[in-house]
Amino acid sequence: MSSLPASPPFTVDIVVYPGFKALEAVGPLSVFDYANLHLARRGLGPGYQVSVVAEQTGLVRSDTVMALEATRQAGAGPAPDVALIVGSRHIEQALEASPGLVAWAARTAPQVGRMVALCSGCFFLAAAGLLDGRPAATHWSVTDLLRQRFPRVQVDPDAIYVRSGKFWTSAGVTAGIDLALALVEEDFGHALALEVARDLVMYLKRPGGQSQFSVHLASQATRHPGIREVQAWVLSHLDQPITLAALASQAAMSERNFRRVFAQECGQSPSEFIETARLEGARRLLEEGAGLPVKAVAARVGFQSEQALRALFIRRLGVTPQAYRERFGEAP
């Protein structure tokens, strides 16, 4: 079994097939290209050597008007350091039309340093049995389908991306960029990954942390302007005591009416939104604040004690705050 080479460039095969999601291929490709650009500015050689591969060479049409040219057949030649297969809007049809990619995944996985599947691309790995007993992420719209077809996969329906040994899986579309940035950070450090993220005008770590269903996104989708303003206030005052009476007053409503309108607009109660916002804020601090004690994290998101934060993490995520930090946090 091979492992990652001692020094770059790392070879990366981006695997496509008819109907692949264009952005899921081009996004990571751009991340690796910008990483090479910044390494060159430092007087260093390229960090990544990227190829587009498919079952057959030539142009492969995506889900848009764009096509990519596969210069090599998947599995031909030496195994890459990183094998990355993208997703499809119609993954069941793609699986049926490209059974050779399932066989390719099974053959290739033991030989590569990292096996990556973006969005519904994880169905190819699951069909090859590579994700049995492992946690995996995929697009929220196909989490139930993944569970039904491959019950031995431990589907994480909320994660932006998941790493389990050499296997990396991500949520949909732009989450592939998050995963690619994580690979760059692992290979070349936080500073270089941050420079790439700035070039792409995006966060290295999303404001919502490792969550597909960020409360920040949820608040932006709320139609009622008064409720949306209350949500924004909550997100910027997590360290303070937040009462239903204060929120209702901000919305110029009675408590009863505020609770009713909030639930109607947001699909959850105000207290549930506050709890989720505090959980998300704590996750973000644990991911980014390597030197911040868990007790301080708890205080910054409005918990009176570290024990209260611990209880919430175990109830909602099944892990302690410290275990979450070890999995997702930056190195000190």
69 by Cβ neighbours in 10 Å (0-12 / 13-18 / 19+) ranks as exposed
Residues of the chain with CATH 1.10.10.60: 214-332
The fold of the 214-332 domain, in CATH, is Arc Repressor Mutant, subunit A (1.10.10)
Q: What is the pLDDT of residues 144-171, one digit of tens each?
A: 999 999 999 999 887 889 999 999 999 9
Residues of the chain with CATH 3.40.50.880: 10-199
Residue showing tokens 């611990």: 310
Look at residue 109 in the predicted model and tell me its pLDDT: 97
Look at residue 128 in the predicted model and tell me its pLDDT: 98
Look at residue 284 in the predicted model and tell me its pLDDT: 84
Look at residue 61 in the predicted model and tell me its pLDDT: 97
Question: Could you name the CATH architecture of 10-199?
Answer: 3-Layer(aba) Sandwich (3.40)
- Enumerate residue ranges in the chain where pLDDT < 70: 1-7, 205-221, 290, 330-332
Compute CA 17 distance to the chain's CA centroid, rounded to the nearest angstrom. 22
Look at residue 330 in the predicted model and tell me its pLDDT: 65
Look at residue 280 in the predicted model and tell me its pLDDT: 87
